[in-house]
Amino acid sequence: MATYKELQAQLHDLHLQAEQARLAEKAEVLDQIRALIVEHKLMPNDLGLVSPGKRRSQLVVAKYRDPATGATWSGRGRAPKWLQGVDRAQFDAK
């Protein structure tokens, strides 16, 4: 009967072999998947990789501009210090 230490060494070797086999198979599978994606002109949302309800964030136009520094604010989130306590109409970016 094998000792505990010998069994642990065998187990370690088997883990290494299994990882090498997994990596080799992974490379083959990825090549197959890439070929199928190109062949069928698939997009990420076709594969369920993009949530249909979520959109990319879009660029927000600045509503306010500080003439002294050129800093801008879109009107979203917390107002910058240069806009706090003043009439915002004088800082319209239009």
Q: pLDDT band at residue 13, thresholds of 50, 70 and 90?
A: very high
Task: Give the list of residues 6+ apart from residue 63 with CB closer than 8 angstroms, or none.
Answer: 73, 74, 75, 92, 93
Domain boundaries, the chain: 4-47, 58-94
SS3 helix, strand, coil % of the chain, rounded to 5? Answer: 50, 5, 45
Residue 69 and residue 79 in contact, taking contact as beta carbons nearer than 8 Å: no
DSSP letters of 54-67?
Answer: --PPPPPPPSEE-T
What per-residue confidence (pLDDT) applies to 58? 67
Average pLDDT, the chain: 86
Q: pLDDT band at residue 51, thresholds of 50, 70 and 90?
A: low
Residue 75 and residue 63 in contact, taking contact as beta carbons nearer than 8 Å: yes
pTM of whole model > 0.85?
no
